[in-house]
Every structure is written in structure tokens, then in C-alpha cells.
Amino acid sequence: QKMSNIATIEYGKNGQMYTASNVSAKIITVVGTSMTGLILYNPIGSGKYMALMSAGFTLTTALGSISSIGLAISPSQPVIPSSNTVGSAVIKSSTGGPVNSVGLAWDVSTLGVACVTQRWFAGLNWITGGSGQAPYQFDTKIDGELGLLPGAAVCFAGLGGTLPTGMGSISYVELSL
């Protein structure tokens, strides 16, 4: 079993771990500037680096074609996202403590710069006639390999004929710059 060298328990005890998630199902989109699903944003001037720890996605509808799910990052830039809708997106302490995160979570956002998928972690195959494989829940351990500087955002993105509807979650640690 792989052990991380990140002090996850210490970050939790110090109140630095958070989880952004949807609490109702949303459809995800292909990469671009107008994104739907779950979008996590590190505001310009936050003074924090958001180290991504893990992400998960669960399907709430069956798909009728092949589909892939990944995490896409919109790079740090001075353009503040617009048309943001909180909807069912929330940020909570990962340990049940107070929520002091600088992060913002949305169901819909128009980002200043298009996202690029940086980690594909889930896929569904499909065979015409409906005999495809249909797992419904996916996780990826990130352990800080991806993160957000101030002005950057991460979201779920899809690729395929029918894009997934479901609920996502992203856990992260906030570190001072």
C-alpha cells in the first residue's frame, strides 16, 4: 500500500482540510470557459495555495454511450469568473470543524480562461444494445499532485457522447503562500 508523505492528519487537526461537493446531481460539460457540475475556485488575493488531495464522482443517471470523467484546471489569471451559481455546491470542513476556507464552490461558472483536463480518472464503456459496463462511483487520490494558486479553478469535465450527471467532491488542504 502506498503511503503519502503529506501530513494529512496534522492538516485536519489544524483545521486546514476542506471538501467542496455537490449536494444534488448536476451534469458536467466538456472543457471550455462555461462549466457546470462542481467548480472550485481560489480567489485572487487569497494568499493561499489549495493542494488537492482527492476527488470523487458518483453517477445518478445511466449513460447511453461511452464517457470519460476528469479534473480540469483553469489557470491562474486576473479575470474573475462570472455568472457563478452556488446552487447545491458547498464547502465544508473535512473534520467537522468551522469552515474558514477561502475557496468558493459553484454549480455553474464562466471562467476567464478555458480549462484543460489534467487528470482523467474515470471512464464508462458502452456497447450498442445496452450491454456496457456501468460502474457508478469513481475516486482518485491526488495527494497534492494538482493544486490551485490564487485565481485558478478546478472542475469536473467530461468527454463522450452522453456526459454524466451526478455529484462530485474534491478534498483539499489550504496552505499559506
pLDDT digits (tens, 9 = 90+) for 80-118: 998 998 888 899 998 888 888 999 999 999 998 888 888
d(CA 18, CA 96): 9
- Could you read off the pLDDT of 39-59 as tens digits, one per residue? 999 999 999 999 999 999 998
When pLDDT is averaged across residues 153-164 and rounded to a whole number, the result is 85
Q: Does position 137 have pLDDT exceeding 80, yes or no?
A: no
